Amino acid sequence: MEVFLQQLINGISLGSIYALIALGYTMVYGIVQLINFAHGDVYMVGAYLGFFATAILGWSFLPALLMSMVVCAILGMVIEKLAYTPLRNAPRIAALITAIGVSLFLEYGMMLLVSPQVRTFPQVLTEVQYKFFGVVITNRQVIILVVTVALMLLLQYIVHKTMIGKAMRAVSHDKQAAQLMGINVNNTISATFAIGSALAAAAGVLVGIYYNAINPLMGIMPGLKAFVAAVLGGIGIIPGAMTGGFLLGIVEAMVSGYGKSLYRDPVAFVILIIILIVKPTGLFGKNVREKV
């Protein structure tokens, strides 16, 4: 029971990271039907920006988090403008391959810039451990969860209550009809990339303070896992990405906790295969029929 609770808590922390990254995948897919495989690398860039702010500039956690989110939002928009906008009407496979190209560019560009060595995050937050019934919770885990939940609430507010959020939903439903409302489709897509990238950056900084170590290829595996999480919840569905992220994090932590850590990664991908066979629309997906 103790192992279970402990792994549940660890899984929620890990799941928060997956969920934040998965949101960007799902939002971008929802609006341009593109699996942005460079998304995991934006998360990596976010982690490095957090490292730069805390280790080199000596900033504290919150300013570092905000700076990383803003810079990655801009990075996301630049990637979209330079790499994906010219391919908007090209076959989807072209955009997909381009995304892989952008991913490699970010990984090895970063390596060139900061060298491939692993960097250690400074102790921005001194670790405090709380013990309840033999279960250990650290203040970092609490912060990860609090930041994640706060960002998710903010995202839900933006998507449902603001005009830009409504525009995003309209564009994802029907681009031409959205244009006829006077919505600028290009700006709306840019905004979506910006928000998704900012969330990935937040995940990067949180991972930095949680696991301490970062490197230029750190985005590959979490990027793929977050993609699995997005598909698990139903690609294109925001609450699905949140749920899928947490679920996947918890499953992985359980697998590790019960002595099968070698199976962590395979389990995630087996989940992907099962979902694609059994319910390709994901847990939250439904087939909406429209009247004509």
Partner 1 sequence: MLKVEDVHVYYGAIHAIKGISLEVPQGQIVTLIGANGAGKTSALNTICGLIKPKSGRIFFEGKDITGVPTQEIVKLGLTQVPEGRRIFANMPIYENLELGAFLNKNKKEVAQDMEKVYTRFPRLRERKNQLAGSLSGGEQQMLAMGRALMSKPRLLLLDEPSMGLSPILVKEIFSIIKELNEQGTTILLVEQNAKMSLSIAHKGYVVETGRIVLAGDAKELLESPEVKKAYLGG
Tell the smallest beta-carbon distance from residue 153 to partner 1 (Å): 20
Binding mask 121-160 toward partner 1 (x if CB under 8 A, else -) reads ----------------------------------------
262 forms part of the interface with partner 1 (CB under 8 A): no
167 forms part of the interface with partner 1 (CB under 8 A): yes
259 forms part of the interface with partner 1 (CB under 8 A): no
C-alpha–C-alpha distance, residues 253 and 258, integer Å: 9
Coil vs helix vs strand at 178 = helix
Tell the smallest beta-carbon distance from residue 3 to partner 1 (Å): 42
Tell the smallest beta-carbon distance from residue 279 to partner 1 (Å): 19
The binder of partner 1 chosen from 104, 177, 270, 276 (CB under 8 A): 177
Task: Name which of 173, 156, 168 is nearest 238 in CA terms.
Answer: 156
Smaller CB distance to partner 1: residue 81 or 264?
A: 81
The binder of partner 1 chosen from 19, 22, 155, 178 (CB under 8 A): 178
166 forms part of the interface with partner 1 (CB under 8 A): yes
C-alpha–C-alpha distance, residues 31 and 45, integer Å: 23
* In contact, 26 and 240? CB cutoff 8 Å: yes
Smaller CB distance to partner 1: residue 1 or 288?
A: 288
HSE-CB of 174 using CA atoms within 13 angstroms: 7
Q: To which H or E segment does residue 214 belong?
A: strand 213-214
C-alpha–C-alpha distance, residues 29 and 237, integer Å: 9
* In contact, 141 and 9? CB cutoff 8 Å: yes
The binder of partner 1 chosen from 9, 183, 202, 205 (CB under 8 A): 183
The binder of partner 1 chosen from 138, 156, 179, 212 (CB under 8 A): 179
Radius of gyration of the chain (CA): 19
Tell the smallest beta-carbon distance from residue 125 to partner 1 (Å): 41
Binding mask 184-213 toward partner 1 (x if CB under 8 A, else -) reads x-----------------------------
Tell the smallest beta-carbon distance from residue 162 to partner 1 (Å): 11
287 forms part of the interface with partner 1 (CB under 8 A): no
Please give the single-letter amino acid code of residue 28: V
* In contact, 100 and 82? CB cutoff 8 Å: no
Task: Name which of 43, 48, 21, 39 is nearest 215 in CA terms.
Answer: 48
Tell the smallest beta-carbon distance from residue 176 to partner 1 (Å): 6
Tell the smallest beta-carbon distance from residue 174 to partner 1 (Å): 6
Cα–Cα separations (whole angstroms), residue 184 to 25, 190, 197, 245: 22, 10, 20, 31
The binder of partner 1 chosen from 74, 149, 181, 276 (CB under 8 A): 181
Please give the single-letter amino acid code of residue 86: P
| Residue 129, Cβ density class (10 Å: 0-12 exposed, 13-18 middle, ≥19 buried) | exposed
241 forms part of the interface with partner 1 (CB under 8 A): no
* Residues making contact with partner 1 (CB under 8 A): 163, 166-167, 169-170, 173-174, 176-184, 288, 290-292
